[in-house]
Amino acid sequence: MREQNLQYVLDWIAIQELAVEYGQAIDYGQDTGDWSRWSNVFTPEVTADYTRFMGTELLTLTREQMPQVAKAGLRSFKRVQHATAMSVGIQFKSDTQAEVMSYAEVAHYFPLGGIQQEWTIIARYTFSVEKTPGGWKIRKVLLDPIHYRGNMLGLELVQGKQLV
């Protein structure tokens, strides 16, 4: 068990902010085309486990490659909004490593026949994070879907279906 001192509290806050930044940086990248903010949440090498969500294989990528994963999954959506819970569970493994569990409700918006559609996923993110010279960063991400609502075509779009 890690000693609960001022550094513990500062690390706890930084990790909570990192979990929120993961989602907000995706939204920012989708809105602006600038994905550098999202790349910055990761360690130089990242394990991305979206197998339960997208049906893809486990990926090991560089942080610079991670935006390609997001762009591919979001290409059909005009806007995305990650509402990440601030009740982030953190279990410190050491002074420089922790496991993090965070819940998010992510709304995806897309037009269909001139009518705005919404598809939302309720998900649990599990992050393995490590403290680097640049602050806390995500080394591994697991996205575990809990519930979907709205137009289920959204799930098919994430998984690669394209509208003609």
Please report whether residue 122 resides in a domain.
yes
- Domain total for the chain? 1
The rounded distance, in Å, linking the Cα atoms of 114 and 50 is: 31
Structural domain of 51:
6-158
């068990």: which residue's tokens? Answer: 1
3-state secondary structure 8-31: HHHHHHHHHHHHHHHHHHHHHHHH
Please report whether residue 39 resides in a domain.
yes
Mean pLDDT of the chain: 93
Please report whether residue 1 resides in a domain.
no
Condensed to tens digits (0 to 9), the pLDDT of residues 33-92 reads 999 999 999 999 999 999 998 878 999 999 999 999 999 999 999 999 999 876 789 999
> Which CATH number characterizes residue 64's domain?
3.10.450.50
Please report whether residue 115 resides in a domain.
yes
- What's residue 55's pLDDT? 78
Q: Note whether 159 and 55 are within 8 A (CB).
A: yes
Please report whether residue 163 resides in a domain.
no
pTM for this predicted structure: 0.92
Tell me: pLDDT of 1 over 80: no
